[in-house]
Structure 1
Amino acid sequence: MTEQKVFVFRQENCVGCEACTVSCQAGKDANEFVTLRDVSQGEKTNNLGREVAVFLSQSCHHCEDPVCVAKCPQGAMKKREDGIVYIDDTLCVGCGMCSLVCPYDAPKIDAKRGILSKCDMCKDRLDAGEKPFCVQGCPVQVLDVMDQSEALSLPGASLSGDGHEDLGTGPTTVFIKLRN
């Protein structure tokens, strides 16, 4: 079996520019109202006792136990051997069940196409040896994709990040909270 592919997010280095969101939309030729990667801003107290902005860039977390796959009545939600969760567009009827059950709001209804869309980690690009659009488009290089064991061996690696928690599906995004 192939190892789980994961997003790696260097959270302390993210500047919240949303280039990952725009790169994904442009690269995927997505509907302008559908974002497959979103950036949000929060605050935390730094080691000097000051409130500082912290950003969270997230898309589908390609969960170990994806409830969207289990609950799709058409079998359109699929999980590859390498853990990438994707939608088979030929089977999706746009019912929205995956969107309703996903605790991370990853599947999005694309009204223009009449079906759902979600991050598929740019699986076709990965298969061709290229990086996903969001990774390629980040000007400060806070995103990457790699095998889970490699990602978790990085200094400061964790499956939890500021503003993110496991909501029962085993999200696989690896967070690095050390500034480099």
Structure 2
Amino acid sequence: MKSTFLKKLTAATALFILCLAPAFAQDVKVIKYKELEQLRNAPHDTLYVVNFWATWCKPCIKEMPYFEALTEQYKNQPVRVVLVSMDAAEDLNTRVKPFVKKRSLKSDVMLLDEVDANTWIDKLEPKWSGAIPATMVFNNKRKQYEFVEKELSQQELQNLITKYKPK
């Protein structure tokens, strides 16, 4: 009798968790350039690793696990990974959120809702052609900054962090 009750309880608990799972899934914040600029210019002693990517970009998807590994590796240190989606805002619910959920992303995820990249790319990084993937690493308090416009290997990304992370 006890075993049947536990099986029903376990099944009911699993169903409850599955029904609530979407509520606990990583949220994707939709931002404008101004919010990205505030993050870039804020006086802080955190090493930010900001990766620009899109769901349709194969090199971006290939390197994404490396950024997720950083989030886990440095979760108790002043290192923060931010994944900035360059997908269209109208694809938020159909592409971006399902992508984030399917991959169980733990890094902060934002969608940059700016239609005309020409109005903001040069302000953020004059050397950036606009191609993705692209990664920006910075610590404003220590005046550290590097920008890389290419797909990064896991070792290249790790080298960037090692070079700039607070000791």
- Taking structure 2 as the reference length, the TM-score comes to 0.32
Decide which structure has the larger Cα Rg and report it: 2
Using the size of structure 1 for normalisation, the TM-score is 0.30
Q: Going by fraction, where is strand more abundant, 1 or 2?
A: 1
